[in-house]
């Protein structure tokens, strides 16, 4: 039995639980050890992630081809089109597709997907394909349904883009994970101050005693990625969230800004706007490589890519 206690995780499979007594801390220790072993990806794993990400890029292209500029389509049509690509080019989606028309983008992990796109509004899609070895991508893009961002949408998009860019530029071996987070959040806080939404300075909002900016940023800058979408989640804090990056880590960078439809602290025209940008980043000896570079990031590149996909028209895998 001691052998079994050293070699299994409880709480995952009732058949295993039935023959292994509750082991308290030992389960947590094993989960932590497995998570920590997964932190640095080898070449084969990186190739699997790239395979999943490349399929995900094709899935986003498929979707952009079926979202018209001038009328609504259902979030579930988008989920279905992406799901077809996932089943054809990989094993499945790596997590339930998050397809957010307009204000649904302000609800994190919106998976009900029962809304309709609206010309003039934004479409946030957080989707990832799991390849046949079960490694998953995790990518988010926010598109202007009508084809071009309105000036206000563009202003918010550019803040999120700047945060995303700053986060990616900060990534290299030896950098603290928490510092990448602070880098992304500072750019968001400065953008919120410039928008006039933050009624204190970015410095005051970044003070740990305040963190007022978090009303509109809602989540951390990202997480490790691999065979799980939130990979290595059981790692001890000093090996992960409070630790430093190492070559071979693969992690997301995914800052966002979210203005709830009923948020009376922001101007009416911002209410219901939610924007996130998420890419999958490999830490290398020299710095970082964006594995999901196959999708555009800058606002004008997103607009041009959307137009190209629409011109090309729908396609089957
Ligand atoms: N798709 C889940 C996440 O971005 O963490
Ligand atoms: Mn993510
Ligand atoms: Mn995501």
Q: What is the pLDDT of residues 147-205, one digit of tens each?
A: 999 999 999 999 999 999 999 999 999 999 999 999 999 999 999 999 999 999 999 99
Would you call 1 exposed, middle or buried from its count of C-beta atoms within 10 A (0-12, 13-18, 19+)?
Answer: exposed
Protein residue closest via CA to atom 4 of ligand 1: 138
User: Residue 22: what pLDDT?
Assistant: 66
Please report whether residue 89 resides in a domain: yes
pLDDT at 243 over 50: yes
Please report whether residue 34 resides in a domain: no
CATH number at 254 reads 3.90.230.10
Please report whether residue 6 resides in a domain: no
Q: What is the pLDDT of residues 97-132, one digit of tens each?
A: 999 999 999 999 999 999 999 999 999 999 999 999
pLDDT at 1 over 60: no
Query: What ligand is nearest to the CA atom of residue 252?
Result: 2
| Site to substitute for ligand 1 among 139, 252, 275, most atoms within 8 A of C-beta | 252
With a 6 A CB cut-off, is 254 part of the ligand 1 pocket? yes
With a 6 A CB cut-off, is 185 part of the ligand 1 pocket? no
Average pLDDT over residues 220-236: 98
With a 6 A CB cut-off, is 138 part of the ligand 1 pocket? yes
Please report whether residue 95 resides in a domain: yes
User: Residue 89: what pLDDT?
Assistant: 98
Please report whether residue 25 resides in a domain: no
With a 6 A CB cut-off, is 231 part of the ligand 1 pocket? no
Percent of the chain predicted with pLDDT > 90: 91
pLDDT at 2 over 50: no
pTM above 0.75, yes or no: yes
Please report whether residue 74 resides in a domain: yes
User: Residue 23: what pLDDT?
Assistant: 62
Please report whether residue 149 resides in a domain: yes
Q: Are 118 and 72 in contact (CB under 8 A)?
A: yes
Q: What is the pLDDT of residues 250-282, one digit of tens each?
A: 999 999 999 999 999 999 999 999 999 999 999
* Ligand 3 ion: nearby residues, β-carbon < 5 Å: 126, 138, 278
User: Residue 222: what pLDDT?
Assistant: 98
Which residues contact residue 191 at a Cβ distance below 8 angstroms, ignoring those fewer than 6 apart?
A: 156, 159, 160, 162, 163, 257
Structure tokens at 196: 């006039």
Structure tokens at 284: 């290398």
Identify the band that residue 6 occupies on the pLDDT scale cut at 50, 70 and 90. low
Closest CA to 217 of 236, 197, 199: 197
Number of domains in the chain: 1
User: Residue 27: what pLDDT?
Assistant: 83
pLDDT at 21 over 90: no
Protein residue closest via CA to atom 3 of ligand 1: 138
Domain that holds residue 80: 41-312
Please report whether residue 75 resides in a domain: yes
| Site to substitute for ligand 1 among 86, 94, 124, 138, most atoms within 8 A of C-beta | 138
Q: What is the pLDDT of residues 31-66, one digit of tens each?
A: 999 999 999 999 999 999 999 999 999 999 999 999
Maximum separation of any 2 CA atoms in the chain, in Å: 65
Closest ligand 1 atom to 128 CA = 1
Identify the band that residue 26 occupies on the pLDDT scale cut at 50, 70 and 90. confident
Q: Are 147 and 64 in contact (CB under 8 A)?
A: no
Percent of the chain predicted with pLDDT > 70: 97
Would you call 109 exposed, middle or buried from its count of C-beta atoms within 10 A (0-12, 13-18, 19+)?
Answer: exposed
With a 6 A CB cut-off, is 95 part of the ligand 1 pocket? yes
């Amino acid at each position: 039995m001691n052998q079994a206690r050293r070699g299994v995780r409880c709480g995952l499979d009732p058949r295993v639980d039935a023959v292994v007594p509750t082991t308290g801390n030992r389960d947590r220790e094993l989960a932590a050890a497995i998570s920590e072993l997964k932190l640095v990806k080898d070449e084969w794993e990186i190739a699997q992630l790239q395979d999943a990400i490349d399929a995900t890029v094709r899935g986003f292209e498929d979707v952009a081809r079926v979202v018209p500029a001038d009328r609504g389509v259902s979030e579930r049509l988008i989920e279905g089109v992406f799901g077809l690509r996932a089943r054809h080019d990989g094993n499945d989606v790596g997590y339930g597709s998050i397809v957010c028309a307009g204000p649904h983008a302000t609800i994190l992990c919106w998976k009900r997907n029962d809304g309709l796109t609206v010309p003039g509004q934004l479409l946030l899609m957080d989707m990832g394909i799991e390849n046949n070895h079960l490694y998953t991508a995790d990518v988010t893009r926010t598109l202007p349904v009508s084809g071009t961002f309105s000036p206000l949408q563009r202003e918010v998009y550019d803040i999120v883009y700047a945060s995303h860019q700053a986060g990616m530029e900060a990534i290299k071996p030896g950098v603290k994970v928490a510092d990448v987070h602070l880098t992304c959040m500072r750019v968001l806080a400065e953008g919120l101050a410039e928008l006039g939404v933050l009624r204190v300075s970015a410095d005051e909002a970044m003070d740990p005693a305040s963190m007022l900016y978090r009303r509109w940023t809602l989540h951390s800058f990202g997480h490790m990625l691999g065979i799980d979408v939130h990979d290595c989640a059981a790692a001890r804090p000093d090996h992960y969230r409070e630790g430093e990056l190492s070559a071979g880590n693969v992690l997301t960078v995914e800052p966002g800004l979210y203005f709830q439809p009923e948020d009376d602290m922001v101007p009416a025209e911002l209410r219901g706007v939610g924007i996130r940008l998420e890419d999958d980043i490999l830490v290398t000896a020299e710095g970082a490589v964006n594995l999901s570079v196959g999708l555009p990031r800058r606002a004008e590149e997103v607009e041009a890519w959307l137009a190209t996909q629409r011109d090309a028209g729908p396609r089957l895998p």
